[in-house]
Amino acid sequence: MALASCCAALSNALPGNVFLPNSNTYASANSNRWSGTSSLSPSCVVLPGSTQDVAAALQVLTQNGRPFVVKSGGHMAKPGFNNIDGGVSLDLSRLNSVELSGDLRTTRLGTGAEWQRVYDNTPGVVVPGGLCGGTGVGGVSLGGGMSIFLAGVGWTANNVVDFEVVLANGTVVHATPNTNPDLFMALKGGGADFGVLTHITITNAQLTNFIYAGQVLNGLTDRSSQALLRVLTRYTTANNRDPGAGMQTIFKLGSNGKNEVETLYGHRAGLNAMIPVPFLSPAIFNELLGVLPQTVAFAAPAPMNILSNMAQDGLATITFQDDQATIEAVHKVTSDICKQVVDIPNLDCFWSYVPLSDIVTANSLKRGGNVLGLERKRIDRMVVFFSPRWLDPQYDARMSNVSQAWYSQAKAATVAQGTADDFFYLNFAGGFQDPISSYGADNVNFLQRVAARYDPQGVFQKLMPGGFKLPQGY
């Protein structure tokens, strides 16, 4: 069946939910992506309004063997990961419900919702969702999911108690610890190669919406950079003793000469709106707050959404054992590469550090584990993600090469220090990276068995080009 006929069949199955390129809804939905590098031209856009609509769409696509992609928040900048030329775009943005349970202990989320919407609509609780408010519930959850409170509660996926999934044949299943437990485990970091995730039910991190939230902006100097790198390595160790804390540090070199460092941090230890200001910050942040020069600093009890409004996202990533010499070596590589591209107009070269203390793995295991494979080596790690931004598409190819060069040089620096780690965080990985293989052979074999059971025809391997595919040859 030609794609035009497939779009017609989808329109018959889902009247009012399928849009062609000559419609305003198509234009709006297709442009609603974080990065212009993912702008492609599908033959039609499907906007399902329910899980049943997703099931109907998948039945048509599978029966007719037509290529498709699934878009949750549309935040990945990799071309082809959440969009497609000539195929069908299955856009979940209408599946954006946010439903708190009566006892406030769990929240049911449509996977087309962005995390900012979740945080804005969950008064009274903290949901352990994405660092960046613009990311989608579905993509963050399937990749593992880093929240600001990663150390205390583990990965976002480890807090999910129910995944609602539409399989390739249109069957709707639930994956829980007791129902389809193999699929439940696979979805905790295994990506989108098993079905279309439509809803999750997640355990809330705490039953108060107010956290200790802070932001520090430092001038970017050699002295402040060295001080902040020391803060990061020491914080990573300290986080094991105080897992209620979370922190992310973002460096920026800009073509406009505006260079700065932003650190976002928070603590979930029993804060509420009645805490008076001023008040003492948790001790784990004392060293951070002493780094000068500071251009902006604030800290206060605040809702969760204040941090997600400010966080960033990444295009390529590397992980290494937490170590002072290594972070300094990786930092020099990154800074040097960014200085080589500041000639590009309107370019901001961002790179960020997220501590991944061993307590994260311990707390993830307490919540049933996942397929990320971090328990194979019980160490403190540092995750770095490289995320340059530019406006002119003529530089896309150059910046793709720059991202790959950054990874190669940064990896070599970690190898030289003897602190290299194989793990790639899927949601920060570049299109040239292979995060699922980094989970280890046992986990890859498990994921392949689960895919063979729930998608025996390999629909999500063959017809859905988007996302990271399960490795072959294991």
What residues are paired with 252 via a beta bridge? 260, 350
Same domain, 217 and 359: yes
Q: How many CA atoms lie within 13 A of 288 on its CB side?
A: 30
| Residues 56 and 129 occupy one common structural domain | no
Q: Are 159 and 240 members of one domain?
A: no
Residue 10's identity, in one-letter code, is L
Q: Tally Cβ neighbours within 10 Å of residue 260.
A: 16
Q: Is 359 helix (H, G, I), strand (E, B) or coil?
A: helix
Find how far residue 36's CA is from the centre of its chain: 18
Q: Please check whether residue 170 is in contact with residue 59, taking contact to mean a CB–CB distance below 8 angstroms.
A: yes
Indicate which CATH number applies to the domain containing 123.
Answer: 3.30.465.10
Residues 293 and 393 in one domain: yes
DSSP element (H, E) containing 142 = helix 137-142
Please, which pLDDT band fits residue 313 given cuts at 50, 70 and 90? Answer: low
Provide the residue range defining the domain that includes 185: 98-206+437-456
Other Cβ atoms closer than 10 A to 462: 12
Same domain, 226 and 375: yes
In whole angstroms, what is the distance from residue 44 CA to residue 358 CA?
Answer: 45
Answer yes or no: is 474 within a domain. no
Q: Contact, 211 vs 301, CB < 8 A?
A: yes
Sheet with 294-303, edge to edge strand ranges = 294-303, 210-219, 260-267, 245-254, 348-356, 381-389, 316-321, 420-421
- pLDDT beyond 70 at 162: yes
CA distance 122 to 345: 40
Query: What number of other Cβ atoms are within 10 A of residue 330's Cβ?
Result: 27
Q: Dig out the tokens for 178 from the structure.
A: 């007791």
CA distance 123 to 104: 10
Backbone angles phi, psi at 216, to 5 degrees: -125, 130
Residue 223 has which token pair?
Answer: 């002295």
Select from 38, 59, 91 the last residue of a domain.
Answer: 91
Query: pLDDT digit string (tens) for 431-468?
Result: 999 999 999 999 999 999 999 999 999 999 999 998 89
Contacts of 308 (CB under 8 A, 6+ apart): 115, 116, 119, 129, 130, 131, 132, 133, 148
In a domain, 469, yes or no: no
Mean pLDDT of the chain: 91
The single-letter DSSP state of residue 312 is -
Q: For residues 18 and 10, what is the distance between their CA atoms, to the nearest angstrom?
A: 7
Percent of the chain that is helix, strand, coil (3-state, to 5)? 35, 25, 40
Residues 61 and 133 in one domain: no
Question: pLDDT tier at 474 (50, 70, 90 boundaries)?
Answer: very low
Shared domain check, 115 and 37: no
Instruction: Indicate if 377 and 246 belong to the same structural domain.
Output: yes
- Please indicate, yes or no, if residue 361 is contained in any of the structural domains: yes
Q: Provide the pLDDT for residue 83.
A: 83
The verdict on residue 472 lying in a domain is: no
pLDDT digits over 71-128, tens only? 998 767 777 678 899 999 999 999 999 999 999 999 999 999 999 999 999 988 989 9
356: Cβ contacts below 8 Å, ≥ 6 apart: 150, 236, 319, 374, 380, 381, 382, 383
The model's confidence at residue 314, banded by pLDDT at 50, 70 and 90, is low
What's the whole-model pTM score? 0.94
Q: Which two tokens stand for residue 379?
A: 């160490």
As beta bridge partners, residue 202 has 107, 160
Output the domain CATH number for residue 351.
3.40.462.20
Question: 379 and 353, same structural domain?
Answer: yes
Same domain, residue pair 246 and 153: no
> Cα separation of 368 and 363, whole Å?
9
